[in-house]
Structure 1
Amino acid sequence: MRLPLFSPITAVLLLLTCPAPAAAAPLPRRPPPTGPEREMLDEAKRLLDEGRLADARDIHLTLWGLTKSASDAFRVGMLSFRLHDFERAAEFLSIYFDMVGTPDAPKIWVPPGFKESYELARADFAEARRHVGALDVRVSEPGAAVLVDGRQVGVSPLPRPVYVTPGQHRVSGQLAGAQREHVAAVGAGGERTVWLTFPRARAEAPARPPVSKVRSRPVAASLPSTRNPALQWWTVGALATTSAALATVGALSLLEANDAAGERDAAFVRARWEVFHCRPGLPACDAYADADGRTKTFTALSVGAFVGAGLSAGGAVTAGFLLAPQAKVRVGAVGSAPGVGLSFSW
Structure 2
Amino acid sequence: MRRSLHTSIPAVLLLLSSPAPAVAAPLPRRPPPTGPEREMLDEAKRLLDEGRLADARDIHLTLWGLTKSASDAFRVGMLSFRLHDFERAAEFLSIYFDMVGTPDAPKIWVPPGFKESYALARANFAEARRHVGALDVRMSEAGAAVLVDGRQVGVSPLSRPVYVAPGQHRVSGQLAGAQREAVAAVDAGGERTVWLTFPRARAEAPAHPPVSKVVSRPVAAPPPSTRSPALRWWTVGVLATTSAALATVGALSVLEANDAAEERDRALARAQWDVFHCRPGLPACDAYADADGRTKTFRALSVGAFVGAGLSAGGAVAAGFLLAPQAKVRVGTVGTAPGVGLSFSW
TM-score tier (shorter):
0.5 to 0.7
Aligned residues: 198
Q: How far is 1:20 from its partner?
A: 5.8
Change over 3 Å in CA distance of 1:22–1:201 after alignment to 2: same
1:157-176 to structure 2, matched below 5 A, reads: 157-176=157-176
Provide Cα deviations, 1:214-245, integer angstroms capped at 9, x if missing partner: xxxxxxxxxxxxxxxxxxxxxxxxxxxxxxxx
Q: How far is 1:19 from its partner?
A: 8.0
Kindly provide the amino acid, as one letter, of the partner of residue 121 in structure 1.
A
Q: Secondary structure of 1:182's match?
A: strand
Q: How far is 1:204 from its partner?
A: 1.8
Change over 3 Å in CA distance of 1:19–1:118 after alignment to 2: farther
Tell me the distance in 2 between the aligned counterparts of 1:55 and 1:79: 10
Matched, 1:197 2:176: no
Q: Percent identity?
A: 93
Provide Cα deviations, 1:161-209, integer angstroms capped at 9, x if missing partner: 0000000000000111111000000000000000010011133233644
Q: In structure 2, what is the equivalent of residue 131 of structure 1? A: 131
Change over 3 Å in CA distance of 1:210–1:143 after alignment to 2: closer
Tell me the distance in 2 between the aligned counterparts of 1:20 and 1:118: 35
Unaligned runs of 5+ in 2: 1-11, 213-346
Tell me the distance in 2 between the aligned counterparts of 1:210 and 1:68: 56
TM superposition outliers: structure 1 runs of 4+ over 6 Å: 16-19
Q: In structure 2, what is the equivalent of residue 109 of structure 1? A: 109
Kindly provide the amino acid, as one letter, of the partner of residue 126 in structure 1.
A
Q: In structure 1, what is the equivalent of residue 45 of structure 2? A: 45
Tell me the distance in 1 between the aligned counterparts of 2:42 and 2:111: 19
Q: In structure 2, what is the equivalent of residue 144 of structure 1? A: 144
Q: In structure 2, what is the equivalent of residue 186 of structure 1? A: 186
1:1-346 to structure 2, matched below 5 A, reads: 21-206=21-206, 208-211=208-211
Provide Cα deviations, 1:239-289, integer angstroms capped at 9, x if missing partner: xxxxxxxxxxxxxxxxxxxxxxxxxxxxxxxxxxxxxxxxxxxxxxxxxxx
Change over 3 Å in CA distance of 1:44–1:209 after alignment to 2: closer
Kindly provide the amino acid, as one letter, of the partner of residue 114 in structure 1.
F
Change over 3 Å in CA distance of 1:205–1:64 after alignment to 2: same
Change over 3 Å in CA distance of 1:126–1:209 after alignment to 2: closer
Q: Secondary structure of 1:72's match?
A: helix
Q: How far is 1:85 from its partner?
A: 0.1
Q: How far is 1:22 from its partner?
A: 1.9
Tell me the distance in 2 between the aligned counterparts of 1:115 and 1:97: 12
| TM-score (norm: length of structure 1) | 0.55
**Higher Rg:** 2
Change over 3 Å in CA distance of 1:211–1:180 after alignment to 2: closer
Provide Cα deviations, 1:65-116, integer angstroms capped at 9, x if missing partner: 0110000000000000000000000000000000000001100000011000
Change over 3 Å in CA distance of 1:116–1:210 after alignment to 2: closer
